Structure 1
Amino acid sequence: MIQIQNYQQATARFYNSRLRQRRFSVGQLVLRKVFSNTKERNAGILGTRWEGPYQITEIVRPGIYKLEKYIKGVPELRPWNVMNLKKY
């Protein structure tokens, strides 16, 4: 059991050392990931994978952001996790 725990800790340490943190600030432009319920119908594999641009209006807590459409200024209903966002 101790050997398994040591192996798991070493693997986690190696994985976490190569992770790159993504942080955004208020006012920055980002793209949002497209999910299956918001996909364009019959687009197939040629459909868009990211939509936007969106502007970050508030940092709820580290890694969670509130967005609004950049051009129209319409706020999104819920906050978004950093895993579903990327830099514009």
Structure 2
Amino acid sequence: MQRDCILKVKTCDNYEKYAAISMKPAEVLDSMEVMRKKLTDAKVEWADLIPEILWSYNTTIQTTIGETPFKLVYGTEALIPIKVGIPTLRAELYNQNHNIDTRKAELDLVEENRDVAAIKQKAMKQLIERRHNKKVVPRTFSKGDLVLRRTEEPRRPSSHGKLVANWEGPFRIAKVLGMGAYQLQTLKGDSLSGNWNISSLKLYRS
């Protein structure tokens, strides 16, 4: 009974025309989300926080590459400010000659570290792409199918404000052009000017 009710609602004419338009944002790094939140909270003082946030980003290990941007540029990890005031083995056991030798070795390996990071990044992108493709349901229309067309801003009646329907129609697929493009016609058979991309169309079920 519940499934029947859900199906009934989804095939209702008004439900389909006023259905929300999916605007899912692209995936972003968690660190970028933190940066955005911090800038939002800072309000008018956001410009003063940019150096601090960039430093935080550049000294944080990135999930996609397994390294910090700072190390990939300079060949070694940064000595963050808090470690300057707090005694650490790196500072306590500092030896200039040993430090020079270690630095030379790090610089010899920096290109290799960059190559490894690039491989990790590519592998991570491929993994994310495979996961995404598993969830994607291919969507195509055939000639004669009934579809709704997204109501673009220029065609929205200004008098209706936010209450205007997000979709208009239905229209019939007149011709499949390929590459996600279609020509439409009204139910009376009148052709609509222009071609329409599949991203602006959805199947009409009523």
Fold in common (TM above 0.5): yes
Work out whether 1:86 is the aligned partner of 2:205: no
What residue ranges of structure 2 are gaps of 5+ in the alignment? 1-117
Q: Secondary structure at the match of 1:14?
A: helix
Count of equivalent residues:
87
Give the secondary-structure state (helix, strand or coil) at the position aligned to 2:159: coil
The answer to whether residue 141 in structure 2 is matched with residue 24 in structure 1 is yes
Identical-pair percentage: 32
**Residue-by-residue CA offset, 1:62-86 (whole Å, 9 max, x unaligned):** 4211101113x22111111111111
Match of 2:182 in 1: 65
**Cα-Cα RMSD:** 1.1
- State TM-score, norm by structure 2: 0.41
Q: Give TM-score scaled by structure 1 length.
A: 0.91
Where does residue 11 of structure 1 map in the other structure? Answer: 128
Identify which of structures 1 and 2 has the higher relative contact order when contacts are C-alpha pairs closer than 8 Å and 6+ apart.
1
Deviation at 1:13, TM superposition (A): 1.1
User: Higher strand fraction: Structure 1 or Structure 2?
Assistant: 1
User: Which protein has the bigger helix share?
Assistant: 2
Q: Which amino acid in 2 is paired with 1:82? A: I
Tell me, in whole angstroms, the C-alpha distance in 1 between the residues paired with 2:130 and 2:192.
36
Give ranges in structure 1 of 5+ residues lacking alignment: none
Query: Of the candidates 21, 37, 55, which is equivalent to residue 154 of structure 2?
Result: 37
